[in-house]
Amino acid sequence: MASNISERSMKKITKSDLKKLGLIASEDRKEFFERNTKSKKLYEEKIICVALCQGAALHFVDGKNGVKDFDVWTFYKKQPKYHFPYRRIGHKDFGFSGIRSSRR
């Protein structure tokens, strides 16, 4: 489904914004692992990093790209017995920030 929001926010992404995104990602992982006990046993303690990615990450670095939405990815240590769901997508509301968000 195409987004009806095409504008990008040029507002600076702050360290406070990154902390909030980290908390949202943490809550999303918690909810996911509550529903998926097999994944929880193998992956909950195997986080390598949590990263802001794609356009918002570029905007954080260069301040020129603009932001349509936030893509936050969690990377895990590979487990040979079970593969984590490839490109699992979750949607969470960042709340008011002055940065517009797009809907997928």
Q: Where are the domains of the chain?
A: 15-76
Spatial distance between the Cα atoms of 89 and 71, rounded to a whole number of angstroms: 10
pTM of the model: 0.76
Helix (H) or strand (E) holding 52: strand 47-53
What pLDDT shows up at residue 97?
60
User: Is pLDDT larger for residue 68 or for residue 89?
Assistant: 68
Q: Is the pLDDT of residue 71 over 60?
A: yes
What pLDDT shows up at residue 46?
92
Q: Are 4 and 93 in contact (CB under 8 A)?
A: no
Spatial distance between the Cα atoms of 91 and 104, rounded to a whole number of angstroms: 9
Mean pLDDT (whole number) for 60-85: 88
Q: Is the pLDDT of residue 3 over 90?
A: no
Residue (of 59, 93, 56) closest to 73 by Cα position: 56
